[in-house]
Structure 1
Amino acid sequence: MPMPSRLGRYAVRRRIGSGGFATVWLAYDEQLDSPVAVKVLADNWTEDQAVRQRFLEEGRFLRKVESPYVVSVYDAGELEDGRPYLVMSYADQGTLADRLEVLALTSGQALEVVRQVGAGLQALHVRGVLHRDVKPANVLFRTVEEGGRTEVRAMVADLGLGKALDMSSRLTMIAGTPSFVAPEQAQGEPLDPRADQYSLAALTYLMLCGRAPYSHASLAAAAAPGAPPALSTPDRDFPPEVDAVVRRGLAPDREDRWPDVAAYVEALAAALGPDADAGPSGPWLPLDPELTQPGARPSPLPPSRPLAEPVPPRRTRRRVLGAVAGLLALAVGLGIGYAVEQRRDAEISITDDTGTLSVTVPSDWDRARSPRMWQAPDGGGEFPALSVGTTADWTDVATTAQGVFLGILPGDELPEQVPQHPECDGADEPVDDTIDDNATRTVVYTRCPGGVTVERIVQLASNRLLWVQVRSADRATATAVLDDVEAHGY
C-alpha cells in the first residue's frame, strides 16, 4: 500500500516493514510526543474474518500483559476502509535476528536475553497466553531510560500465533517456525507453557554456540527432532552442566523438560555461573547505530503445511529444462526478459541419504543441509527428502535466505492448490504442463521477502508425487536449480 499521511490520529513517518498479513509503519503520537509502531492488516485480508479475528486477538493478548518485556499495545482502531490497526511499542534497536547477523553474543549477553525473554513469556503464561512462535525475529530491542542511564531492553513480540491456554488445550493449529517449534506443537497436540520453554531453549542454544540446534526444513521434521549436537564448539566450550540444562529444555517429551520457564532460566543462570553475568557498567547490550533498525519486522503466519514443492523426475537435465518453458513464456509476457542466465562457476551437487533425490545449487547455498527422510503431511509416512539453504531457517517466510526443498510424498493426482505464500506480494498464474506423460503444476510467487518463491509438484508415478520449493533472489537462479533436480528410481 502507498504511504498514508496519517493512520487514525498518528502521523506516519515511514514504513518499517510488511508481510503477507500486515504492514507496520513508524508513526508519531503528536499528543504524547512519542514514536510508535502502527500495525495495519493488509487490505487483501480485510474480508477474511478468521485472519481479521487473529489480528485483533494479538492486540487483546498483548493488552492482557503488563510487562516491560512484552511489546505493549497502546491503542487500536479501524481505518475508513475497514482495516483494523494496532498501535504498539517502537523497537528502535532492531531484533535479535539483526544482532546475530553481525556479531556473536557473549555468554552474559545471551543469558540476559534469556532472562528478559523468559520474563516476558512468564508474564504471558501467568495471563493465560501462549506465544507459540519464539524465534530471533520475534525478540525486539528498544532503548529505555532506567535509573538515569540508557538501557537496552529485550521484548517478546508478534503474537500472531498466540493462543489463550484454554483454547490451546482444546484445539491447536499446526504452525510455527520449524527450527524453534516444540515437537508437540508440530504434531498438532494440545499445548501448555512448556512449548514456549522448548523454543526458548532452542533460542538459547543458537545464542550460545552460534547455530540453531536443528535445521528442520518443515514442521513434519520438527515433530521428531532427535538429539541436537553438543552445545560446545571448538571456539566456545561450555561446562557439561550448561549443556545438560539446555538439553533438558529441548527434551522431545515435555514431561522431561523444566517445570516452567522461570525454572529453566534459573537453572541456566546457575550453570553458566557468575562469570556469565552482564557487567554492571554501561548497557548490557551496546547501542549501535549501524545495527539499529527502524522497528519490528512483521512475521506473517506461516502456511499450515511444510514449505516445499514438487519437481520433474527421472529426466536428464535437457529434458527437465522443457518443464520450465511455461515459466519462460510467462516471464517474457511480463517483460522481464527471462533469458537463461550463465550459471555461477561455483556449484555443488547434493544427494539425499537414500540416493533418491539430488540437486545442483550455488555453492553458497550449501550452508545448511538436511538429507534425511521426512514425514509426509497428513500422516502419509516417511519418504526421501532433501533440504539445502543459505541458513538453517531459510524456510522461515520472513527471511531473505535462499534454498531448495525436495520431498517425495504419496498421491495419485496433483493437488488442486500448491502451498500458498501470503508473505509474497504477487503470484503468477499456475502453469500446468505434461512432460513425457508426467503431469506438473508450477506457481511462481513474486515480490517475496527474499526475491521469488517457486512451488512445483510433479506426478512421479501412479502413487507418488515430488514436491519442490525454491526460494531465490531471482527467477534465473530458481529456474536453473529446478532444472538440476533429479529423482532416481522412478
Structure 2
Amino acid sequence: MHSLERIGRYRLERPLGTGAFATVWLAHDPELQAPVAVKVLAENWAHRLDIRERFLSEARLLRRAGSNRVVQVYDIGELPDGRPYFVMEYADGGTLADLLRDGPLPVPDALALTAEAARSAAALHEAGIVHRDIKPTNVLLHTAPDGTRRVLLADLGLAKSLAQASVLTLAAGSAGYQPPEQAEPGEGIDERADVYSLGAVGYELVTGRVPGPPGKVVPPRRLRPDLGEDVERALSRALEPDRERRWPGAQAFAHELDGLAAGRPAAGPARRLDGVRGRLNAVTLAVAAVLAATAAAVAVTVVVQRDDGAPDGVRITDATGRLAVEVPAGWGRELRDSGWDPRALGLTAGHQPGLVVADDLSRWPDLTAAVDGVFVGVSPHGDVAAEVKALQHTGCRYSGSHTFADADWHGPVRVWSGCPDGGSVTESALSPAGGGARPQVYVQVRQRGAGDATDGILRSLRVS
C-alpha cells in the first residue's frame, strides 16, 4: 500500500486495524476538530467490482441504520487511485475483545454489555438489516464527553437487508459465533441469526472462551462454576442450533439479560447474583445495584420516626436489629433489609447484615435513572478497603478520595460525579476506630443534586 498521510481533509495518525479487504485508520478532522475513523479499501481488491460494491454497501447500511447504537458514517469519498473510503465515528474505548484480554468479565458486567450489544442489533433489525458477523471485535465502546459509555456495533461488511437475507445463498460469519443456518449455503436467515452470535458473545464474556460448534457448546457453568443456572439458561437458549427455540429477537434477549444483570427475576423463584469485583462499567451501577436486588423479592415501604435531635433524618434498621443508619428523610421510602452476601464484593461468602434504602428502589439498578439512597453491608472477613479501591464507575467521573474518621469508624471514601443520571456515587470502606473487634462495613451512597450526605450517613452508622 502506498504511504498515506492524508485522505481528503483527514490527517491520518495511525492504523486501527487491517482486515482482508480494508484498513481502518485513526484520523483527525480539522473542520470538526475531532478524531474520526477512516476505512479504506485495500489496493489488491480495488479492481474487483463485487468487493468494491460490498465495501460501499457497508457504508450505506451504516448510514441507513441511523442509530446511536451503530457506528455513524460522516462522509464518503474516493482516493486519486480510485479506491473508495468512508469516514466514521471513532470509538475510543476499544472493543469487547480488548476487555477480554484480562480474562472473563464480572458476570453482571458481561450480561449488561451483551444486553447493550443486543439492543444495538435490535436497532439494525428495526432498520431491516441483519449483521451476520457479530463478535467481540465488532462491538465497540465509545466514551462521550460527559464520561458515559455507549456500546456500538460496527463492521457491516457481511450485513444484508432482511429482505435479501431470506434468500441468501452464500455461507457467512465467523467460527464460534456463526449460527448453523449461516454455515449452510441456501439457508435463509432472519434476526435470530444475530441472536445466536450475541449469545456467543455473552458466552465468551463470562467464560473467556469462544463457544464450540453449534450443538456442541460446552455448558458455561462447567467453565465458570459460580455462574447462575438462570444465566446459563439464557445464554444456552440464544445458542440453540434450532432457531425456533432461540429468543425470538435481540430485544427479548436484551430484556432477559437486563433482569439477570440487575437481579430482577423475569419469572420463577428469586435469583441470587454472582460476585462482582474489580472492573465495573457504566451500564451496571456497580456492586450495590446488584446487592440491592438480592436482599428481597419485594421492596417494603419504610414507616419511620424521626430522631429528636435530627429532624431532617430518619433512622433505618436492618431485619436483625444489628445494623442501623440514618438517611435524609426523603430517602427513607423503600427498604430491603434482609442482608447480603459479601461474596458480591469479592469477600468471603456468607449471609451478613445488610440493607438498601432509597426513595425509589426500582430505579436503583439503572445508572441513568435519578435516585437517592444508601446500601450498607457488614463483612466480618476480608479486606473491604482493598475491594472498594478496585471498584470503578466508568460512566462517571472519578473525583478523588478522602479519609473518613470519627469516634467509631475510619476508612477511605471514594467519589464519582457526573454520572449518567446527573448525580454522584460514593464508595466507603469502614473499619472500627482504634482497631476494635467489630466487623468492617461497606457503604455505597447514590445521590442526585449538588450536596453530599455521605459523611453524615457514615457518622450515624451503628453496628452491634
CA distance 1:68–1:196, shift in 2 (3 Å): same
Deviations 1:449-485 (A, max 9, x none): xxxxxxxxxxxxxxxxxxxxxxxxxxxxxxxxxxxxx
CA distance 1:167–1:135, shift in 2 (3 Å): same
Contact 1:245 1:271 survives alignment (8 Å): no
Q: Which residue of 1 aligns with 2:21?
A: 21
RMSD: 2.1
Give matches, 1:349-360, under 5 Å: none
Q: Which residue of 2 aligns with 1:261?
A: 250
CA distance in structure 1 between the partners assigned to 2:8 and 2:216 by the alignment: 50
Amino acid of the residue matched to residue 206 of structure 1? E
Shift of 1:231: 1.7
CA distance 1:234–1:186, shift in 2 (3 Å): closer
Contact 1:181 1:199 survives alignment (8 Å): yes
1:102 and 2:102 aligned: yes
Q: Which residue of 1 aligns with 2:211?
A: 213
Deviations 1:59-93 (A, max 9, x none): 00000112222111111001111100010111222
Contact 2:112 2:257 survives alignment (8 Å): no
User: Which one of 283, 294, 306 corresponds to residue 394 of structure 2?
Assistant: 283
Q: Which structure's relative contact order is higher, taking Cα pairs within 8 Å and 6+ residues apart?
A: 1
CA distance 1:105–1:284, shift in 2 (3 Å): farther
CA distance in structure 1 between the partners assigned to 2:78 and 2:105 by the alignment: 40
Q: Which residue of 2 aligns with 1:195?
A: 193
Shift of 1:169: 1.0
Q: Which residue of 2 aligns with 1:115?
A: 115
Amino acid of the residue matched to residue 197 of structure 1? V
Q: Which residue of 2 aligns with 1:157?
A: 154
Q: Which residue of 1 aligns with 2:52?
A: 52
CA distance in structure 1 between the partners assigned to 2:254 and 2:395 by the alignment: 17
Contact 2:14 2:27 survives alignment (8 Å): yes
Shift of 1:5: 2.1
Q: Which residue of 2 aligns with 1:426?
A: none
Contact 1:3 1:14 survives alignment (8 Å): no
Aligned-partner SS, 1:232: helix
Amino acid of the residue matched to residue 150 of structure 2? R
Q: Which residue of 2 aligns with 1:333?
A: none
CA distance in structure 2 between the partners assigned to 1:266 and 1:101 by the alignment: 27
Shift of 1:286: 10
CA distance in structure 2 between the partners assigned to 1:209 and 1:126 by the alignment: 30
CA distance in structure 2 between the partners assigned to 1:18 and 1:242 by the alignment: 35
CA distance in structure 2 between the partners assigned to 1:74 and 1:265 by the alignment: 28
Q: Which residue of 2 aligns with 1:141?
A: 141
| TM-score, normalised with respect to structure 2 | 0.56
Give matches, 1:56-455, under 5 Å: 56-145=56-145, 149-188=146-185, 189-214=187-212, 222=213, 225-233=214-222, 235-272=224-261, 273-274=263-264, 277-279=284-286, 280=367, 282-283=393-394
Contact 2:111 2:260 survives alignment (8 Å): no
Contact 1:110 1:204 survives alignment (8 Å): yes
Return structure 1 stretches of 4+ with deviation > 6 angstroms.
none
Q: Which residue of 1 aligns with 2:318?
A: none
Amino acid of the residue matched to residue 180 of structure 1? Y
Larger Rg: 2
| TM-score, normalised with respect to structure 1 | 0.53
Contact 2:112 2:258 survives alignment (8 Å): no
Q: Which runs of 5+ in 1 are unaligned?
A: 215-221, 288-490
Contact 1:133 1:177 survives alignment (8 Å): yes
Q: Which runs of 5+ in 2 are unaligned?
A: 265-272, 275-283, 287-366, 368-391, 399-464
CA distance in structure 2 between the partners assigned to 1:266 and 1:99 by the alignment: 23
Shift of 1:120: 1.0
Contact 1:3 1:15 survives alignment (8 Å): no
Shift of 1:271: 3.8
Shift of 1:20: 2.3
Greater CA deviation, 191-200 or 99-108?
99-108
Deviations 1:152-209 (A, max 9, x none): 2221110111111111112232021011100111112111000000000111111112
Amino acid of the residue matched to residue 167 of structure 1? Q
CA distance 1:236–1:69, shift in 2 (3 Å): farther
Amino acid of the residue matched to residue 65 of structure 2? V
